[in-house]
Amino acid sequence: MKEAFCRICGFPYEDNFPWTEIDGKMYPSREICPCCGAEHGFDDDLKSSVIVYRQNWISKGFPFDVKEKQPKDWNEQKLMVQLKNISAEWL
Ligand SMILES: [Zn+2]
């Protein structure tokens, strides 16, 4: 099993997934999310950290960490659509 979406912001990964299951255990990629800037395995390993990080990021205006990957017209509406990717256990 792989998690294809950032637990914090719902960013959709096409490869290098943030979390991958190996022998029944989830392992993080340790990469930085291009959208919210969280480190997978550090900022998103606990539900409490996920919620705090998300709240802080949204309150700062949900800036895209890697500007080259930012969709055109990144706005609150696009954010709301992206947040729907997040599994209920991380909300
Ligand atoms: Zn993210």
Q: What is the pLDDT along the chain (91 residues), one digit of tens a residue?
A: 999 999 999 999 999 999 999 999 999 999 999 999 999 999 999 999 999 999 999 999 999 999 999 999 999 999 999 999 999 999 9
Ligand 1 centre to CA of 2 (Å) is 16
Q: How far is the CA of 24 from the centre of ligand 1 (A)?
A: 24
pLDDT score of 31: 97
* Residues in the chain, total: 91
State the distance from the centre of ligand 1 to the C-alpha of 22, rounded, in angstroms.
22
Distance 85 CA to ligand 1 centre (A): 11
Query: Whole-model pTM?
Result: 0.95
CA 37 – ligand 1 centroid, Å: 6
Domain containing 81 equals 2-90
Long-range contacts of 38-47 (CB under 8 A, 24+ apart): 38/6, 38/8, 38/9, 40/6, 43/8, 44/6, 44/7, 44/8, 44/18, 44/90, 47/89, 47/90
How many separate domains does the chain show? 1
